[in-house]
A and B are shown apart, each in its own frame.
With several copies, the nearest count.
Chain A
């Protein structure tokens, strides 16, 4: 811990965030499948049971709908529940509770029943887990009014976002990308909340904006490095929040560069990439020097074999190619 900074992994940061919430907020508790005795399917919650006990680290049965619904009820009852859904695909089993209930209760009750619920969901592909364990639904969830959707891409956000989420009066879904768990970074030792609304410029550039979030941020940053070596200066925008989208930051970047490439691990058609592209088209019609590019997951359930999975997912090479084309063809 030099100069008040610590080195840790994204996984450790997630754990530190949950731990801090439980320390600061007596009404908070965590529930989900195997968060306790097993230590968390991806070892994120390891040791928390020993520290906080089974009242606050609650192993649930395999009942995604019921324990998510129970999270809604507990939130209405004044608690600050954190529900963990082990893998994003399983969230579909709780979708009625999330979309028909958590997202509507405030509205249907005319403002009486807000639902201060946090749902942590592991998302993304890349570990050859196949077609039922590799979806990226965060952009899809972002369609639903009443929900807030965030996707920490950095170690600092992995720790800090949950602190804001748990204080938010509305349901917040945090999508944690599986492939980032081992990523390391040096961050301030003092734990601070990260805001849930704003996008961040992770690298400044002049020629093209690479707009991304979550697991794809590092692909975009890598692409920017490659592009730099070819004389193209790419700006990298980390959306951080998918609902709301921080249009101001996105538009500001694209207004400057005149070109945008969206990198999204969700499927292309009807993904959040489409929304960002549409908004840019609507607002920066006269500023755009090239059509907005999209590098997304191919429209196929994620295949098991490595070479096909790799081919299905957005790659650095694709980002570079699309960005280069934009700059070369549309000057």
Chain B
């Protein structure tokens, strides 16, 4: 296969087609709960993860399949998680919104908007205190900027100069609320700068721009210069979740943005600059589909935790934490 397509195109396609499969499986009721697709935003997780090291930490929100895949959590473990199986990356307890993988330093998966941000600051603080040269990457949507804890965390991170990289995926909507109705001023980088955090706006549809700017930012953070803030301009092509009738935006806007589909952009670049062919594309698709198929098989074949284990994972120190349950 075209080696250059391995870098960004393949990982993005993995995310895209994995999620399309998920939507299908949701229709079949194999996957339940809330399911938030990342379609349209793949360049961001892909570009960012491409420049992080295994020692770096990740915090994200509920729209987390893309981050999990790009980080290298095995696809089958992610799929098994969505199926609620023990083999899932969170043992089946978390589901789509709560993907975890300690070995990849992937700490979820919070379904409380903004809830992961201070946790990322704390993770980074632990690195600072232990003098480890790690970076914590903290993903969130632009909607999170309306939450107080976003601001508290910016201030704390800047004050203490912790090595955290704030990654705001500005897809212009928080559920049905357009950014103009969410924030009195919509420039996210300006908000970061008010805390003395250097900030940059990046085209979130261009995976190479994402990687390049993130790389520079990571370097600075790793060098001990404190937090950095990146705002990625992007768009979600699909509904907020599987229940969203999309009353709040019109089709033209969506199709306008789809012209800048990050996969198309990257594929065009591969064709223009790296001799990517239709054959490469076919090969790529086949590989990705095989992996997805295998992941579904793995998930289907997975085991359901016995109900007798229900009370586990409440306390690490054994038991349900109560001597008697009455």
A205 at the interface (CB under 8 A from B): no
Contact check, B108 vs A110: say whether CB atoms are below 8 A apart. no
Q: Which of B97, B129, B146 contacts A61 (CB 8 A)?
A: B146
Contact flag A34-B176 (CB < 8 Å), given A61-B146, A298-B310: yes
13 residue pairs A–B, Cβ–Cβ below 8 Å: A38-B177, A66-B118, A76-B119, A76-B126, A79-B130, A110-B100, A131-B93, A145-B320, A304-B33, A304-B93, A304-B94, A304-B98, A307-B84
Q: Give the number of chain B interface residues (Cβ < 8 Å).
A: 84
Contact flag A73-B316 (CB < 8 Å), given A38-B248, A304-B93, A306-B32: no
Contact check, A73 vs B248: say whether CB atoms are below 8 A apart. no
A77 at the interface (CB under 8 A from B): yes
Contact flag A108-B177 (CB < 8 Å), given A114-B316, A129-B33, A304-B93: no
B187 at the interface (CB under 8 A from A): no
Smallest CB gap from B164: residue in A: A73
A148 at the interface (CB under 8 A from B): yes
Whole-angstrom CA separation of A107 from B300 in the bound complex: 23
B259 at the interface (CB under 8 A from A): no
B121 at the interface (CB under 8 A from A): yes
Chain B residues in 8 Å Cβ range of A29: 129
Contact flag A73-B123 (CB < 8 Å), given A130-B97, A132-B110, A268-B326: yes
Given A73-B123, A97-B118, A130-B95; 8 other pairs, CB 8 A cutoff: A38-B175, A38-B176, A65-B149, A76-B119, A110-B91, A269-B322, A305-B305, A312-B310
Chain A residues in 8 Å Cβ range of B119: 69-70, 72-73, 76, 97, 101
Contact check, B90 vs A108: say whether CB atoms are below 8 A apart. yes
The distance from the CB of A212 to the nearest CB of chain B, in whole angstroms, is 18
CB under 8 Å from chain B, chain A span 122-156: 127-133, 145-146, 148
Chain A residues in 8 Å Cβ range of B313: 106-107, 110-111, 300
Contact check, B144 vs A62: say whether CB atoms are below 8 A apart. yes
B155 at the interface (CB under 8 A from A): yes
Whole-angstrom CA separation of A73 from B58 in the bound complex: 11
Q: Which of B32, B123, B310 contacts A128 (CB 8 A)?
A: B32
Contact check, B118 vs A68: say whether CB atoms are below 8 A apart. yes
A60 at the interface (CB under 8 A from B): yes
Smallest CB gap from B326: residue in A: A282
The size class of the interface chain A forms with chain B is: 35 or more
Whole-angstrom CA separation of A67 from B119 in the bound complex: 9
A308 at the interface (CB under 8 A from B): yes
The distance from the CB of A284 to the nearest CB of chain B, in whole angstroms, is 12
Smallest CB gap from A31: residue in B: B125
Contact check, B94 vs A109: say whether CB atoms are below 8 A apart. yes
Contact check, A106 vs B315: say whether CB atoms are below 8 A apart. yes
A330 at the interface (CB under 8 A from B): no
Encode contact with B along A167-179: 1 for CB under 8 Å, 0 otherwise. Answer: 0111000000000
Contact check, B320 vs A246: say whether CB atoms are below 8 A apart. no
CB under 8 Å from chain A, chain B span 25-46: 32-34
Contact check, A71 vs B324: say whether CB atoms are below 8 A apart. no
Whole-angstrom CA separation of A97 from B114 in the bound complex: 10
Contact check, A73 vs B324: say whether CB atoms are below 8 A apart. no
Contact check, B320 vs A300: say whether CB atoms are below 8 A apart. yes
A324 at the interface (CB under 8 A from B): no
CB under 8 Å from chain A, chain B span 116-151: 117-127, 129-130, 136, 143-144, 146-149
Whole-angstrom CA separation of A59 from B325 in the bound complex: 40
B204 at the interface (CB under 8 A from A): no
CB under 8 Å from chain B, chain A span 70-85: 70-79, 81
Smallest CB gap from A133: residue in B: B111
B102 at the interface (CB under 8 A from A): yes
Contact check, A304 vs B95: say whether CB atoms are below 8 A apart. yes
B153 at the interface (CB under 8 A from A): yes
Whole-angstrom CA separation of A214 from B162 in the bound complex: 37
Contact flag A69-B121 (CB < 8 Å), given A38-B175, A38-B176, A128-B33: yes
Smallest CB gap from A101: residue in B: B115
Q: Which of B89, B183, B326 contacts A283 (CB 8 A)?
A: B326
Whole-angstrom CA separation of A100 from B245 in the bound complex: 28
Chain B residues in 8 Å Cβ range of A33: 174-175, 177
Contact check, A66 vs B155: say whether CB atoms are below 8 A apart. yes
Smallest CB gap from B125: residue in A: A74
A18 at the interface (CB under 8 A from B): no
Q: Which of A34, A108, A244, A304 contacts B322 (CB 8 A)?
A: A244
B182 at the interface (CB under 8 A from A): yes
A90 at the interface (CB under 8 A from B): yes
Q: Which of A75, A245, A268 contacts B323 (CB 8 A)?
A: A245
B244 at the interface (CB under 8 A from A): yes
Whole-angstrom CA separation of A63 from B114 in the bound complex: 10
Whole-angstrom CA separation of A248 from B323 in the bound complex: 8
Contact check, A109 vs B247: say whether CB atoms are below 8 A apart. no
Smallest CB gap from B117: residue in A: A69
Whole-angstrom CA separation of A62 from B93 in the bound complex: 27
A279 at the interface (CB under 8 A from B): yes
